[in-house]
Amino acid sequence: MGRIPAGADSFERRSTTHATDPGRREGERRLKYFRFVPAVILAAHGAAATPAFAQDVPGSDGEAGALLESGVRFTSVGERTEPLLVGFVMLTIGSRVALGGGGAILARSVDVGGDPIYPDRRLGFGYGGLTAEVVGPSPGSVVDLGLRVLVGAGNVDLTDNATGTRIESDNVFVVEPEVLVRRRLTSWLRVSVSSSFRFTSGVDRIDTDAVGNLESFAVGLGLSIGPL
């Protein structure tokens, strides 16, 4: 029998530890979902950032500009109320319309219990898509109302928390209308509160008892920079 090369055993132990490190698994899980956020978001950001911040009065001359928004929503996922991290990049057209894209991802995986084979399962969920928004009735005022809709896709999966093994996974179609109320702090900075409802379809290849109903109301807080 041949001898095992020196250091092989320690290398195997390091590889095993590395593969099952919870922090690394969580990071890889989050990065996986961002493939559903359309690349057009980044393209719109790069193309529109310069003209947006060159304007003196937001929305006053009808020029295009970039509207950047991030925030958190609280919604029901896996039969529990959980936080979603959200982000949008949109190109404003005139003073009342914005087109672009955005997405959302669970801030943490959700414990959905186990079964005889996998006693500790975690639920992951994220989605992204194209967005359109209309602002009225008084764009550029101190307080304004926005109506936005997202149409896109996402992914939901179940993983074994002990090993990081993906047990089941399925793609999902998402439509999410949203109502926003924004309060202007400066000429380019606003805070917002929002209410939305997430419609989903196509979840049929995963344990629906564990996932629960992905359709849900959500309320959120946000911060936006740009015209409109």
Q: Per-residue pLDDT for 200 more than 80?
A: yes
First to last CA, the chain: 74
Whether the CB-CB separation of 110 and 82 falls below 8 Å is answered with yes
176 HSE (CA, 13 A, CB side) = 32
62 in Cβ contact with 98 (< 8 Å) = no
What CATH code is assigned to 9-225? 2.40.160.20
Single out the residue of 199, 196, 192, 195 nearest to residue 221, CA to CA: 192
Q: What angle do CA 147, 152, 157 make, to 5 degrees?
A: 125
Mean of the per-residue pLDDT values of the chain: 78
Question: Domain ranges in the chain?
Answer: 9-225
Question: What are the tens digits of pLDDT across the range 81-130?
Answer: 999 999 999 998 877 899 999 999 999 999 988 888 888 999 999 999 99
- Of 34-43, 62-71, 84-93, 191-200, the range with the lowest mean pLDDT is 34-43
Say what the pTM is: 0.72
